[in-house]
Structure 1
Amino acid sequence: MAPSIRQSSNIFLAIVGFLLSSIILCDAAPLTSRIQSRSYSNNTLSSNTTTPTGPLSAGSSPITTGIPSSQPLATIFPDYTSQYNARNGAVDFHTTRGLVSRSPTNGGADITTLVTFAVDSRYSSNMCQLVFDLEDSSSSASGSLKAQLFTSLAPATADTETWPSGNLRDQPLGSIDIVAGGRATWEKGSGPGATADGLIPCSTIAGKIYGGEIVPQGDSLAVSWPAGQDGIKIIVW
């Protein structure tokens, strides 16, 4: 029996409804897929992006040996760089350049450099590395290319013409072999206050004013660098 006009109309509407539903579903699927894809991309970016990190937590184990493989947290230059004259005890405070020099003809007027560091207390759980670089184009080095590093009983605070202030040298940290155009290397076993790589626990100096001295070794040495840009610095790991 042939379908009635009403039946034909209902069949036609059902077919149209099915087709419209299919079209809506097809359009909706790509939209859902794009949202998921965007969310995935954000998660991937977040997991692969390196973000600044703070000091090690109290429960973390600090690095105790060897140079860490991670990126340094901070590089700290001296707040003050001063020059000390070994012949008369005079201090030229807060100079624009560091200078370490010795000559057999200078009559004992060796020049050492006094530095003053301030290491933030937030690094107390990290490792600090004392390094000496000569990478600036205005830096120079000649002679023995050897120096000794010492701590100071108190850092320089003003110009002086003679003792008793002087350099106030304290404990030896060790000896370095200076590299013109690069980073000095620590002589192994050269001092009790630093490892062969200059690594010390930041806890020993964090939150304090830390004074030091760079002293020439050998019969002849001349090393110069722009203060606060090159030379001695502390790297926080």
Structure 2
Amino acid sequence: MAKQAMSFLETHLVQQGRLMVRYREGDVKHLGFIEDYAHMLSAYMSLYEATFDLKWLTKARAIAENMFELFWDKEIGGFFFSGLDAEALIVREKEVYDGAMPSGNSTALHQLLKLSRMTGRQDWIEALEQMFKAFYVDVSSYPSGHTAFLQGLLSQYAPKREIIILGKKGDPQKEQLLQALQKRFMPFDIILTAETGQELAHLAPFATDYNTINGSTTVYICENYSCRQPITDIDEAMEQLFHD
């Protein structure tokens, strides 16, 4: 159902590479705002985490690049509400208050920090850290009104790991581990999986040289991209992942 919903959005609400806001009976109107892009990015990230299909991660990276091009404030950081191609306004506003729905900046921060780690984009991480300064006064003066933004802040500074799982598609050991990971609440860890490191090269260059050992599913557990010895015993991998 999620894939069908995304297919509808991509078919009807993306025009010439630009995300739009409204679709009704074939009529499409209004350029998307930062919140639309941020939640679309969140959807792509969720689809990757549910399926581990790298195409969703590729699409997530593409929309992230568009977000920086259209909305990023190059002077002090943070995302403007409207894009560069929108109707010219006297002042381009930014929204960070989290109401019934998280703000575009809060959602963007949380998802982009995660995607930056998955793809090794240190330049994005450095840019996003500007947001902590740009919105410091707003957030610190009223923390309960910026809870989603604070989740992004927490995700940046909490202990976290990069988990890279390489092995043949359909391998029972690999599937067992992936299913176990999906059942766990591990909000600060990222998971990359493919058959080989080369398959990840275009998305996560730092993983290019990782290899399977003797053709077996191989697990790399890393912190700040510094990895332990690779593991081929899935029970040992789960012990380290879930009980360390």
Q: Same fold per TM (> 0.5)? A: no
TM-score normalised by the chain length of structure 2: 0.19
Structure with the larger helix share: 2
Return the structure number with greater relative CO, CA threshold 8 A, min gap 6.
1
TM-score normalised by the chain length of structure 1: 0.20
Which of 1 and 2 has greater Rg?
1
